[in-house]
Chains A and B, each alone.
Chain A
């Protein structure tokens, strides 16, 4: 397998891990407060909808859109997507934005569900099914987008008829889903230890680098050393974002003030 194939699988795997961890927290709340049958039904329905989405759009795009236009559009969307992820990750690393706290989100949703005051039913509960369906679908849409774009581009670079880039990218996403489900089943608590921000940062770097590379090819840019220039782009974006984090870090509020803001209490009380 070529380096680009591994990159496709890895990008889909890492992006999916972040999104599935976030979706898992809500599914867990539904399982604990309503019942596991509803939680699993909603999850399965959403995974099915996402698979149909990937298969339909993936095939349609490959068949109907010319390769040069596809490269241009995929590059543009990947750069946009990558920068969006990078911005969030940089702000979190710099301390200007709170880290994603799965435990807090879990507690908040748990309280909301319990406030409904319904006794947990044994059979399928429409609210539970819908809640887990919605969370998995919304988080999974970004994964579907990454699977489609990376898969199509890998197809374009590999002319073998045996090769299916979308299937490979979907394999990466499926591996992430299995890993998150297995870890969740084992721990039976929100997956707090997953380094979500680091994963987000790595995926942001990958999306931006690949988007720049493929978008540039779509524009007609001939990259120096061809595919190897991808590594130069990755190193360049790592250096630039590292510098941006160092630039922003001194402006982060002190930890006590940040905690005060989060708790809505006066600073003196928290510090004391």
Chain B
């Protein structure tokens, strides 16, 4: 079990290394797939897709900032 966990952990750190980024990007791709599937307008899908990606980056930077403020 431990080698599998280690492999998963290494893969996570290689590709993302940040839970907020991972969730935001998965959400962006997941939600855009869903919207495209229900034939939502192209512009709406594109805007939501990009907004979630940018939102993820902003959130993770905000978290870094809060962590540094708390740490002094």
- A230: shortest Cβ distance to chain B, in Å? 13
* CB contact under 8 A between A244 and B60, given known A87-B18, A219-B45: no
Q: How many residues of A contact B (CB 8 A)?
A: 32
Max chain B Cβ within 10 angstroms of own Cβ: one of A75, A76, A77, A83: A83
Give B22-65 as 1s and 0s: 1 = Cβ < 8 Å from A's Cβ atoms: 10011011001100100000100110011001101110110011
Q: Chain B's interface: helix, strand, loop or mixed, by majority?
A: helix
- Which residues on the A side are within 8 Å of B22 (C-beta)? 80
Q: Are B53 and A212 in contact (CB under 8 A)?
A: yes
The listed residue (A76, A83, A96, A216) touching B46 by CB distance below 8 A is: A216
The reply to whether the CB of B68 lies closer than 8 angstroms to some CB of chain A is: yes
* CB contact under 8 A between A90 and B50, given known A80-B21, A219-B32: no
Q: Which of A54-62, A129-137, A220-228 lines the interface with chain B?
A: A220-228
- Which residues on the A side are within 8 Å of B68 (C-beta)? 96, 251
The listed residue (A76, A141, A240) touching B29 by CB distance below 8 A is: A76
The listed residue (A87, A221, A233, A236) touching B61 by CB distance below 8 A is: A87
- Which residues on the A side are within 8 Å of B58 (C-beta)? 244
The reply to whether the CB of B2 lies closer than 8 angstroms to some CB of chain A is: no
Q: Are A90 and B61 in contact (CB under 8 A)?
A: yes
Q: Are A251 and B25 in contact (CB under 8 A)?
A: no
In the assembly, what is the distance between CA of A61 and CA of B40, in Å? 31
Q: Are B15 and A77 in contact (CB under 8 A)?
A: yes
- Which residues on the B side are within 8 Å of A236 (C-beta)? 50
In the assembly, what is the distance between CA of A216 and CA of B54, in Å? 15
Q: Chain A's interface: helix, strand, loop or mixed, by majority?
A: helix
List residues 222-272 of chain A with CB under 8 A from any CB of chain B: 222-223, 233, 236, 240-241, 244, 248, 251
Q: Are B57 and A221 in contact (CB under 8 A)?
A: no
Q: Are B64 and A212 in contact (CB under 8 A)?
A: no
In the assembly, what is the distance between CA of A87 and CA of B19, in Å? 13
Q: How many residues of B contact A (CB 8 A)?
A: 30
Select from chain A the residue with minimum beta-carbon distance to B33.
A219
- Which residues on the A side are within 8 Å of B33 (C-beta)? 219
- B18: shortest Cβ distance to chain A, in Å? 7
The reply to whether the CB of A72 lies closer than 8 angstroms to some CB of chain B is: yes
- Which residues on the A side are within 8 Å of B57 (C-beta)? 83, 86-87, 240-241, 244
Q: Are A91 and B64 in contact (CB under 8 A)?
A: yes
- A239: shortest Cβ distance to chain B, in Å? 10
The reply to whether the CB of A208 lies closer than 8 angstroms to some CB of chain B is: yes
Select from chain B the residue with minimum beta-carbon distance to A253.
B68
In the assembly, what is the distance between CA of A87 and CA of B49, in Å? 19
Max chain B Cβ within 10 angstroms of own Cβ: one of A90, A219, A220, A251: A219
Interface residues of A (CB under 8 A from B): 72, 75-77, 79-81, 83-84, 86-87, 90-91, 96, 141-142, 208, 212, 215-216, 219-223, 233, 236, 240-241, 244, 248, 251
Beyond known contacts A72-B29, A141-B14, A221-B46: 9 more, CB 8 A cutoff? A75-B29, A83-B18, A83-B25, A84-B17, A84-B21, A221-B42, A222-B42, A244-B57, A248-B65
Chain A to chain B: the 9 pairs with minimum beta-carbon distance, closest first: A220-B36, A219-B32, A83-B21, A221-B46, A80-B16, A80-B25, A219-B36, A76-B29, A80-B15
